[in-house]
């Protein structure tokens, strides 16, 4: 006989585990499946912005975040072709700092909270398909584990399978960015309490991209780079080539002089910006990367995955309360997500898509360099704390950017 659950969640990354945690806390019998065994690695920058840290702390992991082997950052340092912008972390509910925590550990911790709350976990189990009644209602899902086919009954499924192919048909949007990272030990000469972001000419001549150095508290650092797929198409280059050239940036090269690489370099793909994906259907909700919840400018997604999971769990609960698993009811999930995040996603998406390459933004970076208020707003646009169009509130910085652009043109620069 098939096991029966109130909710089945596919994928036990931060999005799926948060969904399962909140659903279990709300009293739903929750199944959580993942095709991998945990702890498992997930290629990532390992940065937890303050809003993401709030989500982690909300699940009872605040003390764990403060353990000294994690990095703790209080500022951003942004290096562009013509400017250096340094700014404190915007104040948030979690306080004026964020963290750098290895995903292998973070995801296992979050998952531990889900199972402690009562979620039934099946690892090494790949979800294959939704099962629907002749009328189209979701009645369960089919999975495989060790060559065996498993069937679970449930009226509602949350897909949190990241870039996996579970509920792909017509729901997911195409990936539009790729990123690569490696751990290093022993970087020297950098402020360990800052997140270092490099907007290099190399990564921003054919599209958009940036490199990063995020420090842990144990002497290691996560060094990575990501570019839009448009950059790859236009330049004919591959991600490894962009990454290798990033490692040659003079500032980074100096920091890495005596450092040693640890573990393999890993790459992964992303869909940045919430547009193009469908996040609900009858008996189905999409959470985290599966629902295109990655920030359109920064590529940050852990906090948004957890936030969308928290919201999806409350809508799964609501659906059970009303005995209504229709698309119409579950559209409430989408409505609330948009209300919370659409402004920053629309404006960020528009900026990244309308500006053919980020080098065109250099006059703005330069203009923000010495204007603290404009600089703060620019960084908040990056961290997801404000929509990027908030820069319109700084007409003097925009005016200065315009003058710099005009002068550059006159002098044949850029």
Ligand X SMILES: Cc1cc2nc3c(=O)[nH]c(=O)nc-3n(C[C@H](O)[C@H](O)[C@H](O)COP(=O)(O)OP(=O)(O)OC[C@H]3O[C@@H](n4cnc5c(N)ncnc54)[C@H](O)[C@@H]3O)c2cc1C
Binding site for ligand X (CB under 6 A): 10-16, 33-36, 42-47, 52, 126-127, 160-162, 164, 166, 179, 181, 224, 226, 268, 270, 288-290, 294, 299-303, 305
Q: Which is nearer to ligand X, 28 or 270 (CB)?
A: 270
Q: Distance between CA atoms of 89 and 97, rounded to whole angstroms?
A: 6
Output the smallest distance, CB 302 to ligand X, in A: 3
Residue of minimal Cβ distance to ligand X: 301
User: Distances in Å between the alpha carbon of 155 and those of 62, 121, 162, 171, 323?
Assistant: 34, 18, 22, 18, 10
Least distance (Å) between residue 60 CB and ligand X = 18
- Three-state DSSP at 105 gives helix
Instruction: Quote the least distance from Cβ 403 to ligand X, whole Å.
Output: 35
In the structure, how many helices (H) and strands (E) does the chain have? 12, 20
Nearer to ligand X, 289 or 344 (CB): 289
Nearest residue (CB) to ligand X, 45 versus 112: 45
* SS3 state of residue 357: coil
Nearer CB in complex with ligand X: 140/224? 224
- State how far Cα 156 lies from the chain centre: 25
Per-residue 3-state assignment (H helix, E strand, C coil) for 306-364: HHHHHHHHHHHHHHHHHCCCCHHHHHHHHHHHHHHHHHHHHHHHHHHHHCCCHHHHHHH
Q: Report whether 223 contacts 240 (CB < 8 A).
A: no
The nearest distance, CB 265 to ligand X, in angstroms, is 10
How far apart are CB 268 and ligand X at their closest, in Å?
3
Which is closer to ligand X, CB of 79 or CB of 268?
268
The CB-of-124 to ligand X minimum distance in angstroms stands at 9
Minimum CB distance to ligand X smaller for 43 or for 363: 43
CA atoms of 366 and 400, how far apart (whole Å): 9
In this structure, what DSSP letter does residue 413 have? -
């Amino acid at each position: 006989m098939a096991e029966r659950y109130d909710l089945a969640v596919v994928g036990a990354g931060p999005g799926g585990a948060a969904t399962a945690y909140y659903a279990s806390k709300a009293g739903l019998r929750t199944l959580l499946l993942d095709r991998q065994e945990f702890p498992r690695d997930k290629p990532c920058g390992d940065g937890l912005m303050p809003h993401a840290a709030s989500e982690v702390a909300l699940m009872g992991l605040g003390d764990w975040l403060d353990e000294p082997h994690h990095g703790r950052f209080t500022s951003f340092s942004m290096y562009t072709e013509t400017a250096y912008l340094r700014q404190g972390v915007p104040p948030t509910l979690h306080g004026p700092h964020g963290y750098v925590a290895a995903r292998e550990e973070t995801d296992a911790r979050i998952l531990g909270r889900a199972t402690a709350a009562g979620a039934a976990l099946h690892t090494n189990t790949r979800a294959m398909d939704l099962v629907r009644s002749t009328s189209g209602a979701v009645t369960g899902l089919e999975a495989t584990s060790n060559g065996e086919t498993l069937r679970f009954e449930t009226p509602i499924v949350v897909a949190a399978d990241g870039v996996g192919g579970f509920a792909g048909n017509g729901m997911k949007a195409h990936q539009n960015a790729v990123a690569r990272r490696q751990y290093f030990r022993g970087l020297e000469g950098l402020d360990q309490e800052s997140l270092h972001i490099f907007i290099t000419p190399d990564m921003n001549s054919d599209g958009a991209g940036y490199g990063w150095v995020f420090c842990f508290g144990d002497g290691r650092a996560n060094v990575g780079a990501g570019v839009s797929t448009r950059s790859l198409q236009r330049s004919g280059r591959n991600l490894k080539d962009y990454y290798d050239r990033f490692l040659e940036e003079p500032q980074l090269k100096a920091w890495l002089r005596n450092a040693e690489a640890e573990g393999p370099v890993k790459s992964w793909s992303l869909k940045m910006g919430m547009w193009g994906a469908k996040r609900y259907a009858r008996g189905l909700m999409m959470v985290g990367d599966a629902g295109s919840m990655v920030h359109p400018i920064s590529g940050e997604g852990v906090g948004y995955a957890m936030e969308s999971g928290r919201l999806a769990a409350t809508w799964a609960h609501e659906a059970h309360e009303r005995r209504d698993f229709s698309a119409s009811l579950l559209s409430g999930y989408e409505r609330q997500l948009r209300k919370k995040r659409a402004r920053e996603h629309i404006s960020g998406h528009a900026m990244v898509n309308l500006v053919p390459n980020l080098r065109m933004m250099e006059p703005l970076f330069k203009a923000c360099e010495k204007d603290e208020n404009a600089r703060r707003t620019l960084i908040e646009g990056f961290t997801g704390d404000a929509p990027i169009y908030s820069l319109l509130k700084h007409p003097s910085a925009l005016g200065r950017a315009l003058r710099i652009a005009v002068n550059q043109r006159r002098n044949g620069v850029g």
